[in-house]
Amino acid sequence: MNNRFKENIKKKSSSDSIIDKIMINAIRLFSFIVIIIFILILGKIFYEGIGVINWNFLTGIPKSDISKGGIGPAIFGTMAVSLIMLILAVPVGIFSAIYINEFAKDTFWLRLIRASVNSLAGVPSIVIGLFGFGFFVLFVGKSIDSILQTGMFFGQPAIIWASATLAVLVLPTIIVTTTEALNSIPLTFRQASLGLGASKWQTIRYVILPQARPGILTGVILALSRSIGETAPIMFLGSAFFLPNLPLAYLDLSFIQIPIINPADQFMHLAYHIFILSTQSSNPTLTEPFQYGTTLVLVVITLLLNLTAIIFRFRFRKINEVVKRNQ
Amino acid sequence: MKKYHSSYAKKRTFKSALVEKTVKYFFFLNGMISVLFLLLIILFLFKEAISAISGIGIAEFFKNVQWYPTSDAPRYSIIPLLYGTLLTAIPATIISSFLGIILGVYLSEIASGRTREIIKPFIEIFAGLPTVVIGFLILAVGSTFFQELFNTGTRLNALLAAFGLSIILIPTISSLTEDALRAVPDNLRMASYSLGINKFSTIRNVVIPAAISGVSAGIILGFGRAIGETMIVLMASGNAAELTLNLLHSVRTITATIAGELGEVAYGSPHYYSLFFIGTFLLIITFVINLISELIIARMRKKLKKMN
């Protein structure tokens, strides 16, 4: 009896362990398949795109014969839109996070702000684009035009409205990451500063913000990378397929002319460029290498930004861990 | 001397109290900007959607099952677009739940610390890849490959769009699954092992049930993202507003309709307002989905607190 019982256990556990091994390895296998598909996707873009990358392609202006032209204005336009987006979104995002983490008590207002940030993060980008078109271009822009009597100057799609719309889109990203960064700073830092007689504002300004800088920077970089990759909202907010001139205006100081980004101009954009090239090309076999090349540029920019953000976050966590351990 | 000191201190406190108060209100006002824009989005979309309802009539959006906004007898039915949205989002969610959960389990329970540190950022990077890139790859590589594989009539179809969506959903679902599994306290695993239960059974019968709210929240969030995603479906679904349940037919989603038509529409026309109507519809759907997933996550946090 005892023997049979033992045998039973042995049998059961050995068949059990075989099934266990099979299932665990199946999980491994599927995970590797997914990862290999991801690697293949990146590899394909690099392999096909690297051939057309040269100085002329990166800086040249687009020509009707695509093999002679470049994507310089598209890169410039992407950077211009993102720069203005950052100017609009970053201060508001950081200040909001400071309010949420440093000032707010658990009141109605804090809950309202938190709920709004969460909801705003969940709004689909196309809906934000729709809002941007209806609100910024047709409502705000047209109102400015009728007040300033500028005709059809502001009330049309332009860099400033694309940037403003993208700013609304990335605001939750910046707020959430900055709040996390502020929240991860040990309470003892605040106590030490307040104990020395510093006011709350001085504590924030001289202790918390410098300490949270890498964490805040992570949020800014993530926001930047997200805005560069968003295509849907900017499609009807002033991105154009073919603009040989850069969207610049010249600030005339009589002795020197300083070029600045003209926020009322239309612009070329890498993501939109890829969309148009791949959907409305008349000769796909000829333009395909250049489609891959443009895609490669966009992918490399976003990959580098995301990688930087990951490294920053990793280092930031390590620093805070060390601080906490030494206490 | 003493007097001077106290008046100085008083002056200083008064001034700094003023600064402190101003600073606080300044930050508060910045915090309210998110609230303001959320309200503006809701108000503005609803306003235009109501114009659509009063101009076209709400019944028009739900009968006739055709979307022909530019024909002589325009039809504005949202039904085919809704079919298209679900026909791409549901298969995408199924595929990426399956693979995403497996990947999450692998990262949390099986992979060694070193492997995880390499693979996790790599997958996180994919969650941030521009969707237009995936749309482009599907047009350039996927569609022909797919057509030969399934021998479909149309080069672009709902299933192809679903595969494209899966590429961005897998990272979302896998990282949320991993977070949920890692939040499960280790003593549950140890208790299971000490009863002689092997690893896979422990994962299936102990760890995943304990983390099920987090995992399902990830799936629901993924579904919400699939419904709201624009570029992939715009480029890969074929954009024919057809009422079909066949995955190998071309479909047109709500998002792709807005993206494709807003650029050419005349301001103030019924077509313009109808795009805002379907946009409002989309906003409500995603809002409800996000709310559900947030409630589930909140419940999970409570449950885990109890466990600890």
Q: What is the pLDDT of residue B181?
A: 92
Residue A169 shares a structural domain with residue A305: yes
Residue B45 shares a structural domain with residue B112: no
For chain B, say whether A156 makes contact (Cβ under 8 Å).
no
pLDDT at A77 over 60: yes
B225, B214 in Cβ contact below 8 A? no
Residue A144 shares a structural domain with residue A239: yes
For chain A, say whether B276 makes contact (Cβ under 8 Å).
yes
Q: Does residue B49 lie within any of the structural domains?
A: yes
Domain range holding A13? 1-52
Q: What is the pLDDT of residue B255?
A: 93
Q: What is the pLDDT of residue A220?
A: 92
Q: Does residue B61 lie within any of the structural domains?
A: no
Q: What is the pLDDT of residue B120?
A: 87
- Model pLDDT for residues A216-260, shown as the tens digit of each residue: 998 899 999 989 988 888 888 888 777 777 777 777 777 777 777
Residue A90 shares a structural domain with residue A239: yes
Q: Does residue A62 lie within any of the structural domains?
A: no
pLDDT band of A10, cuts 50, 70, 90:
low
Residue A79 shares a structural domain with residue A46: no
Residue B229 shares a structural domain with residue B95: yes
User: ipTM for the complex?
Assistant: 0.87
Residue A94 shares a structural domain with residue A46: no
Q: Cβ of B220: how many Cβ atoms within 10 Å?
A: 23
Residue B31 shares a structural domain with residue B89: no
**Mean pLDDT computed over B224-250:** 85
Q: Does residue A15 lie within any of the structural domains?
A: yes
Q: What is the pLDDT of residue A7?
A: 58
Residue B35 shares a structural domain with residue B100: no
Q: Which residue has the higher pLDDT, A324 or B44?
A: B44
A271, A234 in Cβ contact below 8 A? yes
Q: Which residue has the higher pLDDT, B294 or B63?
A: B294
B108, B177 in Cβ contact below 8 A? yes
**Mean pLDDT computed over B207-217:** 89
pLDDT at B43 over 90: yes
Residue A175 shares a structural domain with residue A123: yes
Residue A89 shares a structural domain with residue A26: no
Selection from B110, B183, B152 nearest residue B247 by Cα: B152
Q: Could you give the angle at the alpha carbon of A116 between the alpha carbons of A114 and A118, nearest 5°? A: 70
User: What is the rounded average pLDDT for all residues in chain B?
Assistant: 85
Q: What is the pLDDT of residue A1?
A: 46
Q: Which residue has the higher pLDDT, B268 or A50?
A: A50
- Whether this prediction's pTM lies above 0.90 is answered by no
Nearest to A16 among B136, B198, B231 (CB): B198
Question: Looking at chain A, which residue has its C-alpha nearest residue B291?
Answer: A119
Q: How far apart are CA B180 and CA B176, in angstroms?
A: 6
Residue B73 shares a structural domain with residue B34: no
- Model pLDDT for residues B72-120, shown as the tens digit of each residue: 777 888 888 999 999 999 999 999 999 999 999 999 999 888 888 888 8
Residue B104: burial class (beta carbons within 10 Å; 0-12, 13-18, 19+): buried
A261: enclosing H helix or E strand:
strand A257-261
Q: What is the pLDDT of residue B152?
A: 65
pLDDT band of A144, cuts 50, 70, 90:
confident
Q: What is the pLDDT of residue B16?
A: 72
For chain A, say whether B196 makes contact (Cβ under 8 Å).
yes
Residue A2 shares a structural domain with residue A145: no
Nearest to B31 among A113, A123, A129 (CB): A113
Of the candidate ranges A176-180, A260-264, B232-236, the one whose mean pLDDT is the lowest? A260-264
Q: Does residue B287 lie within any of the structural domains?
A: yes
Q: How far apart are CA A84 and CA A254, in angstroms?
A: 26
Q: Which residue has the higher pLDDT, A245 or A141?
A: A141
Q: Say yes or no for a CB contact (<8 Å) between A120 and B37.
A: yes
Of the candidate ranges A54-63, B35-44, B85-94, B284-293, the one whose mean pLDDT is the lowest? A54-63
Q: Say yes or no for a CB contact (<8 Å) between B19 and A17.
A: no
pLDDT at B69 over 70: yes
pLDDT band of A178, cuts 50, 70, 90:
very high
Of the candidate ranges A23-27, A260-264, B45-49, the one whose mean pLDDT is the lowest? A260-264
Residue A258 shares a structural domain with residue A318: yes
Selection from B185, B229, B235, B192 nearest residue B211 by Cα: B185
**Mean pLDDT computed over A160-180:** 93
Residue A97 shares a structural domain with residue A17: no
Q: Does residue A161 lie within any of the structural domains?
A: yes
Q: Which residues pair with B68 in a beta bridge?
A: B75
Selection from B252, B248, B84 nearest residue B153 by Cα: B248
Domain range holding B95? 67-307
Q: What is the pLDDT of residue B11?
A: 55
Range 105-164 of B in CB contact (< 8 A) with A: 105-107, 110-111, 119, 121-126, 128-137, 139-141
Please list every residue in chain A whose beta carbon sits closer than 8 Å to the beta carbon of residue B23. 200-201
What percentage of residues in chain B have a pLDDT greater than 70? 94
Residue B93 shares a structural domain with residue B217: yes
Residue B23 shares a structural domain with residue B82: no
Q: Does residue B258 lie within any of the structural domains?
A: yes
Q: Cβ of A205: how many Cβ atoms within 10 Å?
A: 13
Question: Looking at chain B, which residue has its C-alpha nearest residue A234?
Answer: B259
The SS3 assignment for A52 reads: helix
**Mean pLDDT computed over B215-238:** 90
B137, A278 in Cβ contact below 8 A? no
- Model pLDDT for residues A81-99, shown as the tens digit of each residue: 999 999 999 999 999 999 9
Please list every residue in chain A whose beta carbon sits closer than 8 Å to the beta carbon of residue B122. 35, 38
Q: Does residue A315 lie within any of the structural domains?
A: yes
Q: Cβ of B256: how many Cβ atoms within 10 Å?
A: 29
Q: Does residue A100 lie within any of the structural domains?
A: yes
CATH number at residue A294: 1.10.3720.10
For chain B, say whether A18 makes contact (Cβ under 8 Å).
no
Interface residue of B13, B20, B28, B34 to substitute, partner A, most A CBs within 10 Å: B34
Say how many CA atoms lie within 13 Å of B119 toward its Cβ: 24
Residue B264 shares a structural domain with residue B136: yes
Q: Does residue A102 lie within any of the structural domains?
A: yes
**Mean pLDDT computed over A108-125:** 91
Distance, in angstroms, between A71 CA and closest chain B CA?
Answer: 16
Interface residue of A38, A94, A112, A126 to substitute, partner B, most B CBs within 10 Å: A126
CA dihedral (A101, A173, B228, B141) positive or negative: negative
Q: Say yes or no for a CB contact (<8 Å) between A95 and B26.
A: yes
Residue A4 shares a structural domain with residue A82: no
Q: Which residue has the higher pLDDT, B92 or A49?
A: B92
pLDDT band of B1, cuts 50, 70, 90:
very low
Residue B29 shares a structural domain with residue B163: no
CATH number at residue B275: 1.10.3720.10
B213, B221 in Cβ contact below 8 A? no
Residue A238 shares a structural domain with residue A116: yes
Q: What is the pLDDT of residue B10?
A: 53
Q: How far apart are CA A28 and CA A39, in angstroms?
A: 16
Residues in chain B: 308
Q: Say yes or no for a CB contact (<8 Å) between B123 and A38.
A: yes
- Model pLDDT for residues B269-283, shown as the tens digit of each residue: 888 888 999 999 999
Domain count, chain A: 2
Please list every residue in chain B whose beta carbon sits closer than 8 Å to the beta carbon of residue A100. 31
Domain count, chain B: 2
Q: Does residue A63 lie within any of the structural domains?
A: no
